[in-house]
């Protein structure tokens, strides 16, 4: 193993978990939204969209890990201007996630972790779906927003036999009026518990009883990290509980 950077700051919850599990002790800073591992004890540096740049600079990290979708370009430019090394990932599908995870962990000095191979095997071993279903995946309400084109979550669901009804939309996360969602002829609505925390009492009532609703863990649907090893089973179970 190559020597790991002594100090790493992560601005992406998924990558925070990946680094913390693979290179214990390397992380010195993470966002307020970095909830895994649950016992992560590092300096909090604000949100993904509003990181505290001076605080990050004061931590003197050897590497800052970011994502082109999660983090804002001006914040990353400010970190670079302060002399910090910033690694920016781009993750739009599962294959890209695996490549970028390997790149991030290598930059942290880690050998290829066992969990990454287990995650690749879990997704590679999926059976071909017998039936495909058309779904919307809301990620927010007030206003309603859904997963659109070219997204990691959409790619995961496609591998499980669920086609995103808005995969061809011009926007990646379009605002769709509820009336339009209800009239879209969907086979299914999938509600994750993040970024908006949809629950049994908040979200399904907008579509039931006309359209089945599957509640899924956002960490399994949108995170790229150790949770990918269990994601196909967890997502599959939630879908089967809803549509059989």
Superfamily of domain 129-243: Nitrogenase molybdenum iron protein domain (3.40.50.1980)
Q: Is the pLDDT of residue 107 over 70?
A: yes
- H-type helices in the chain, by residue range? 13-22, 53-59, 73-81, 94-107, 114-124, 152-159, 178-182, 218-222, 231-243
Task: Quote the CA–CA distance of 218 and 231 in Å, as a whole number.
Answer: 10
- As a whole-number percent, the residues of the chain with pLDDT over 70 amount to 98
* pLDDT confidence of residue 128: 87
Architecture of the domain delimited by 8-112: 3-Layer(aba) Sandwich (3.40)
Every domain of the chain and the residues it spans: 8-112, 129-243
Q: What is the pLDDT of residues 170-222, one digit of tens each?
A: 999 999 999 999 999 999 999 999 999 999 999 999 999 999 999 999 999 99
* pLDDT confidence of residue 1: 47
* pLDDT confidence of residue 173: 96
Residues 6+ apart with CB under 8 A from 74: none
Task: Quote the CA–CA distance of 6 and 27 in Å, as a whole number.
Answer: 8
* pLDDT confidence of residue 14: 95
Band of residue 140 on the pLDDT scale cut at 50, 70, 90: very high
Q: How far is CA 136 from CA 29, 71, 131, 237, in A?
A: 35, 25, 17, 18
Task: Quote the CA–CA distance of 117 and 121 in Å, as a whole number.
Answer: 6
Residues 6+ apart with CB under 8 A from 193: 199, 215, 216, 217, 218
Q: What is the pLDDT of residues 20-74, one digit of tens each?
A: 999 999 999 999 999 999 999 999 999 999 999 999 999 999 999 999 999 999 9
Q: Is the pLDDT of residue 243 over 90?
A: no
What tokens appear for 2 in the block?
């190559």
Task: Quote the CA–CA distance of 238 and 36 in Å, as a whole number.
Answer: 22
* pLDDT confidence of residue 3: 56
């Amino acid at each position: 193993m190559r020597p790991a950077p002594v100090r790493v700051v992560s601005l992406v919850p998924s990558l925070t978990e990946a680094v913390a599990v693979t290179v214990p002790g390397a992380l010195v800073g993470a966002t307020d939204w970095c909830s895994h591992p649950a016992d992560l004890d590092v300096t909090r540096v604000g949100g993904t969209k509003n990181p505290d740049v001076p605080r990050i600079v004061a931590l003197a990290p050897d590497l800052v890990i970011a994502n082109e979708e999660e983090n804002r370009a001006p914040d990353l430019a400010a970190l670079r201007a302060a002399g910090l090394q910033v690694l920016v990932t781009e993750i739009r599908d599962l294959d890209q996630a695996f490549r970028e995870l390997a790149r991030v962990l290598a930059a942290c000095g880690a050998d290829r972790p066992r969990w990454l191979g287990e995650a690749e095997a879990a997704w590679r071993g999926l059976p071909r779906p017998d039936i495909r279903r058309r779904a919307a995946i809301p990620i927010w309400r007030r206003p309603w927003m859904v997963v659109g084109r070219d997204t990691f979550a959409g790619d995961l669901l496609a591998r499980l036999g669920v086609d995103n009804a808005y995969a061809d939309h011009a926007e990646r996360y379009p605002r769709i009026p509820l009336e339009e969602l209800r009239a879209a002829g969907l086979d299914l609505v999938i509600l994750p518990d993040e970024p908006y925390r949809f629950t049994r009492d908040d979200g399904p009532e907008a579509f039931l009883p006309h359209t089945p609703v599957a509640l899924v863990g956002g960490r399994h649907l949108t995170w790229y990290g150790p949770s990918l090893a269990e994601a196909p089973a967890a997502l599959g179970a939630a879908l089967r509980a809803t549509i059989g």
